[in-house]
Amino acid sequence: MSVPTPPVPLAGASGAPATVPPFDQVAVRVAPGRDLVVRLPGVLLVAGVTTSPAGPATAPVRPALVGWGPAPVPAAPVAAPAGDAHVGELVTLCRRVSAAGSRAPGRRLHEELRGWLLTVTDPPSFAVAAATEDGLALVLVGGGTAEVPDLGLRLTPAEGEELANGTPVLDRFVTWPPAALHLSAGSPADTAPHPLADLEAGAVPGAAAVLAPAPAPAAAGPVPTGTTQLRLPAPHVTPPPMPPPPRPAVPTPPVRPAEVVAPPAPPHDHAAHDHAHHGDHAAHGHAAPPPVAPVPPPVEPAPPPVELPAPKKSALLFGDAAPPEPRREPLPMPGAEPAASAPAGEPEDERPQVKGIRCKNGHLNDPRAGFCALCGIRTTQQTAVLVEGPRPPLGLLVFDDGATVSLDTDYLVGREPETDERVASGQLRPLLVVDPTGGVSRHHAEIRLEGWDVLLVDTGSANGTLVAPRGAPGWSSLVPDQPIRLTPGTAVRMGGRQFAFESPHGGF
């Protein structure tokens, strides 16, 4: 059984460290069944497998063995997997994308499956979950389902779209759920998966795969220098009694050094007499008396604390009389109109106002969307009443060099967009596109935001503008000055440059 480990940091495009969810470290349990469960680096697949009917029982030809008794009765044949060729193609595609070496192959696998499904007339039922940089990529086809029973969430292909052959398909980018994720191809599970089972890699038979939630990262750094580590006792062990803290030593007053003060000169000369007296003692063999050490003066006691007078209730710092307090404005009355001199409130939101439906978390969404673009919950849970609010960004333009542009206003795209009068007046925002081939005009195209729609208009460029919606077999040229509505996944080509339009508000 694999042990969950913290996520590995990965450098993103912006240079800041990003964190890839530990897709390959979490446990995957398999419910018994006849379908196929495949786990690869960054990919988890559950594919439906049809079974061929059992043939007639025929007695096998066996050699006679002496002493082994009668030949056993042949067992009835059981149904065997039918070896669907499309299932093999699906597994091979997942292996090829996983072997590319990316830790988060979800977005690439999403595009590869889109192209593969367009070439298959009768695809099998399957459910795929692959890791992305910030969550999971889910693809459900036929009877495939993805659900989080602990949260009451369930996704089916019926909530997506139908292919040209009538097969329902749901492809969506979601966040990593905080509970177990169940993937199945539509077959019922016979029994619950064993709690100790953990599919680390490979392909095994099963009816469903249960992907455990990602563990919370626990970064354990080195202990700083000079830090004392303490080992706490177990909860059931009584800690030993702590010794009483040592008593602080009573500080002794510092002893001042003895100050030798020269005595004042006597009125008469005793020095000669003393010298003569000591000389007489020395002459008679008597030793001179030892010098007497000066006695330090006694330490003076600390002066008693000065008692301050009781504080007054009010006192002036200066002797002058206090100036009269200016008259205050009366308090506002409920329902009264605000005064003209009232301070201005917060600045109003200058974003365009649009009508939409709010989810239960208060996020404003396109009325045509079935799920919230921010939290992913179903918007149909709320009453379908249109409310007006500031319009959020309607998507991103992802260029071929990795640059992204948020669509929150109208843009003028070109080689020199700042030379246009509408850009100088602030009506349009310039979007500079550098093309080494010279195929981008000075004012090539406009991107307009009307309501919840993103429109692309070719402004009469010299080389034209090509578009290809998601799943289209080829490019088509735009008619100048005729806007078209961009849908999520649409690719746009201008000269030698290309970008794609992505939006969480689309899909319709």
How many angstroms separate the CA atoms of 48 and 126, rounded? 6
The pLDDT of residue 298 is 65
How many angstroms separate the CA atoms of 503 and 212, rounded? 29
The predicted model scores a pTM of: 0.39
Both tokens of 464, joined, read 């034209």
Specify whether the backbone of 218 is left (phi greater than 0), alpha (psi in -120 to 50) or beta. beta
Residue from 48, 81, 33 nearest 188 by CA = 33
The pLDDT of residue 329 is 73
Which amino acid, residue 396? L
Look at strands 17-19 and 9-11 and give their pairing.
Answer: antiparallel
The pLDDT of residue 60 is 56
The pLDDT of residue 423 is 93
Write the CA distances from 175 to 44, 211, 416, integer angstroms: 16, 14, 39
Q: Where are the domains of the chain?
A: 9-51+80-211, 353-390, 396-502
Whether residue 43 contacts residue 130, with contact meaning beta carbons closer than 8 Å, is answered with yes
What does the DSSP 8-state code read for residue 151? G
CA-only gyration radius of the chain, Å: 44
Q: Largest Cα–Cα distance in the chain?
A: 153
Query: How many residues appear in the chain?
Result: 508
Whether residue 225 contacts residue 54, with contact meaning beta carbons closer than 8 Å, is answered with no
Write the CA distances from 239 to 142, 190, 230, 234, 246, integer angstroms: 62, 51, 13, 9, 20
Task: List per-residue pLDDT tens for the chain, 508 residues long.
Answer: 344 444 433 333 333 333 445 788 888 989 888 889 999 999 999 998 876 554 555 555 566 676 776 766 666 655 545 557 888 889 999 999 988 877 788 888 988 898 888 888 888 899 999 988 888 999 999 889 999 988 889 999 988 888 777 788 998 988 888 888 999 988 887 778 877 778 888 888 888 888 887 665 544 444 444 444 444 444 444 445 555 555 655 555 554 544 444 455 555 554 444 544 444 544 444 455 555 556 666 666 666 666 666 655 555 544 555 566 677 777 666 655 655 554 555 556 677 788 887 877 778 877 777 677 777 666 665 566 778 888 888 889 999 988 999 998 999 999 999 999 999 999 999 999 999 888 999 999 999 998 888 999 999 998 999 999 988 888 999 999 999 999 999 999 999 999 999 987 654 4
Contacts of 421 by beta carbon, 8 Å cutoff, 6+ apart: none
Q: Domain 396-502, CATH 2.60.200.20 — does that match?
A: yes
CB atoms within 10 A of CB 358: 17
The pLDDT of residue 8 is 38
Both tokens of 205, joined, read 């038979």
